[in-house]
Amino acid sequence: MTDLYARDGRVLSQLQKLRFFPLSITGGHGSYLVDEAGRKLLDLSASWGAASLGHSHPALIEAVTAALSNQAGASVLSATNENVVSLAERLLESVAGAEDRRVWFGHSGSDANETVARAVVAATGRPRIITFTGSYHGGTAGSIAVSGHSVQEHADKADGLISLHYPDPYRPVGDDATGEAVLDALQQRFAADAPPDEIAAIFIEPIQSDGGLVVPSPGFMKALCALCQQHGILVVSDEVKVGVGRTGRFSCHEHEDFVPDIVTMGKGLGGGLPLSAVIGPAEVMNFATSFSMQTLHGNPICAAAGHAVLDTIAHESLTKNAERTGNYLMSRLRQLMQTHELIGDVRGRGLAIGVELVKTRAGKEPAAQAAAKLVYRAFELGLVHYYVGMNSNVLEMTPPLNLSEAEVDEAVAILDTAINDVVANRVPDSALDGFEGW
């Protein structure tokens, strides 16, 4: 273990750690990180999708440096600034929706989703919210309260929270891969214990991210959202991890052919700087002043980073690259699947990809320990990625949007070796000591 990692253990709180292997970073460029030993590591995570332009992108450096050299304050709380206003204007142009909308800026997807969860209830007067089993909307009290992930079972949930099964074509509930049973169950709830006029909003993920990179059955989201909007239930599309060009569209919900009422963004919007956004109808977003504010919200430096991300996505055609390179990565992973029984499923859109590991294809029993050992061994071989899922058995790949096909080939070669080593029991159980993971 490196000196930096040991020092980390002596001074940093465990409360904020989600560790899989002893990664100590001293720098990075493009799709590569540099660790304390000077090794170059190919980064297929991009810090859970936050480093959307990769590391040390010149456009991000230039934008942030310029904003700092003539700093327009540090907040939008009691004064406005050009960077934050023009970024809001650009987001309203980029995301389809009602004519009269407003943008709220925060630090993370957690504070964005918490703000929405509070605002929709207050603005509509309806006290209840619909969510999904497996959903992860953040790590603050308010965002956890409307989430359904197993890792957050210890936390309090919103009063009257309604939880639906997320339609997983690989692991269908009741042998229904279409999601029709979920729609039927919701309508039964409407007629029984969950009258629609009590429900303010439904929180959806157009790809259920931390629940296992689950892509919903075709047509399900469109039908679900039409049903909810028919009853005046606001549709909130959480695109914190899968939005801003990652899936081959600017907004992930575009794949599903519906228009949500509210969209939340985070992670990649700031390119690695703390920046989130909510886009929604004015009657909700202007419900009250001083309702959801923190001093550094609307920071012009972070807003400048947001501009750099949007500029670079446009100038370097990164949405198209995410689609093209993502398709190539999925095809290479499916080739691996032909030779490795450990891989049960490969799924995703663009550069939001999940690889589900199972003990046997026929039984589909989650291979959680194999996932933990695989990401550890891949790290030793020079590749950074993590695992997610309700069963901790889905490899998550959310690399920089400018990932190249040559880097895909490098990553797949490392994965191939790592899988062979895990299957051959070359990674001891003791390697995982101290790394609790997800």
Question: Does residue 261 have a pLDDT over 70?
Answer: yes
pLDDT in tens, 337-360: 999 999 999 999 999 999 999 999
Q: How does the average pLDDT of the chain come out, rounded?
A: 96
Tokens of 57: 């992108």
How sure is the predictor about 160, in pLDDT bands with cuts at 50, 70 and 90?
A: very high
pLDDT digits (tens, 9 = 90+) for 9-65: 999 999 999 999 999 999 999 999 999 999 999 999 999 999 999 999 999 999 999
Determine the Cα–Cα distance for residues 107 and 299; give it in Å rounded to an integer: 9
Note the pLDDT tens digit of each residue in 97-110. 989 999 999 999 99
Say if residue 124's pLDDT is above 70.
Answer: yes
| Cα distance between residue 55 and residue 43, in whole Å | 10
- Annotated catalytic residue within 136, 166, 376, 386: 136
pLDDT of amino acid 396: 98
Determine the pLDDT at residue 325.
Answer: 98
Look up the pTM and report it.
Answer: 0.96
pLDDT in tens, 306-336: 999 999 999 999 999 999 999 999 999 999 9
Structure confidence at residue 331 (pLDDT) = 98
376-433 confidence digits (pLDDT tens): 999 999 999 999 999 999 999 999 999 999 999 999 999 999 999 999 999 999 999 9
- Let me know if 386 is a catalytic residue: no
pLDDT band at 1 (very low <50, low <70, confident <90, very high): low
Cα–Cα distance between 110 and 91 in angstroms, integer? 19
